[in-house]
A = this chain, B = another copy of it.
Amino acid sequence: MENKVFMSFAFYSTILILKMYVVAIITGQVRLRKKAFANPEDALRNGGLQYYREDPDVERCRRAHRNDMENIFPFLFLGAIYSLLDPSPAVARIHFFIFCVGRIVHTIAYLLRLKAPTRSVAYSVAQLPCFSMALQILLATTPYW
C-alpha cells in the first residue's frame, strides 16, 4: 500500500461503493413510503398482500442501482490494474476524479428525474476514463495474451 496512485484509487472507489449503498437504502425507503414490495412476505409484514406490487419510483431506483453495477464494478477492476501500471499520479487522479463525479451526477440525475440528456451525458463522461484505462491496460498486457 505504498503505491499512492492505488491509495487514491481506493479512496474514490470506496466513495462510489458507499454511494451505491445509499441508492440501496433509498430504494428501501421508497418501497416503504410507496408501499410497494418485491416479495409477498415483505408485503404481509407491511400491511397486506396488496402491497406486493411494482412502483415506478422503486423501479427508477433499481435502474439507477443496476446501471451502477454495470459501470462502477468494471471501474473497480480497471482502476486497480491501471494503478499497478505505474501511471503518472496526476493523470491517474484525473481519471478517478472524472469517473467519480460523473457517476455521482448520474445518480442524482436519475433519482431526481433531471431533464434528458443530463443523465446520459454524465454516463458518457464517466466512461471516458474507463475506456482510457482499458486501452492502457491492453497496451501493457497484449504481449502476455
CB nearest to A1 among chain B residues: B84
CA distance A60 to B127 in the complex (A): 23
CA distance A12 to B77 in the complex (A): 12
- Copies of this chain in the oligomer: 3
Given A41-B115, A116-B44, check contact A81 B8 (CB 8 Å).
no
Chain B residues contacting A10 (CB-CB under 8 Å) are 81, 137, 140-141, 144
CA distance A114 to B67 in the complex (A): 27
Using CB atoms and an 8 Å cutoff, list the residues of chain A in contact with chain B. 1, 4, 7-8, 10-15, 17-18, 20-21, 24, 38-42, 44-46, 60, 63, 65-66, 69-70, 73-74, 76-78, 81, 84-86, 110, 113-117, 119-120, 127, 130-131, 134, 137-138, 140-145
